[in-house]
Copies of this chain bind each other. A is one copy, B any other.
Amino acid sequence: MSAEPISAAQEARVRDAFAGQGMMKTLGATLTRVARGEVEIVLPFAPHIAQQHGFIHAGGLTTVVDNAGGFAAMTLMPEGMEVLTIEFKVNFLSPAIGRRFLATGRVRRSGRQIFVVDGEVVAEDSHGDRKTVAIMLATMMGVRLDLPRPATTAGSGVLAE
């Protein structure tokens, strides 16, 4: 998948989804690039998302790279479809030490419903030096969502596939 530009409407769809996530605001993440089949999210280091040794929590990196992969798939879906993460696998290559982390998701296989994406998290230090600290391989699904209204007390839901 080359990283071609997409239409303003398609980009807006991804930006709206990102903006609608309380979690992205909580982590402090920014959506930095939306291209055809490829999305980048940047997460600056901060103590409120660290683990016990002061490094950024692996779960924080996973949250942004999962989003980058899901949104990358979303750029290839027709309007009215939503993206669900079926599963992901992440390998952590090095301690996640850095000033900020660049998470990229790219579509490797685009189908009617099933999308396979890979992802990468690169740590950038204060000198601008970069190092890959995590790699993801994930399966996303495009669904026409008719989800039950979520709420903190909501009942059970059925995956609309």
Residues of B within 8 A of A26 (CB): 26, 48-49
A72-115 vs B: 1/0 string, CB under 8 Å?
A: 00000000001011111111111101110000000011011110
Q: Does A33 contact B (CB under 8 A)?
A: no
- The answer for the CA separation of A20 and B63 in the assembled complex, in Å, is 20
Q: Does A2 contact B (CB under 8 A)?
A: no
Choose from B17, B54, B154, B158 the contact partner of A98 (Cβ within 8 Å).
Answer: B154
- The answer for the CA separation of A12 and B127 in the assembled complex, in Å, is 38
Q: A106 to chain B: closest CB distance in Å?
A: 12
Residues of A within 8 A of B (CB): 16-18, 20-23, 25-26, 45-55, 57-60, 62-64, 66-67, 82, 84-95, 97-99, 108-109, 111-114, 116, 118, 125-127, 129, 131-132, 135, 137, 139, 141, 145, 147-159, 161
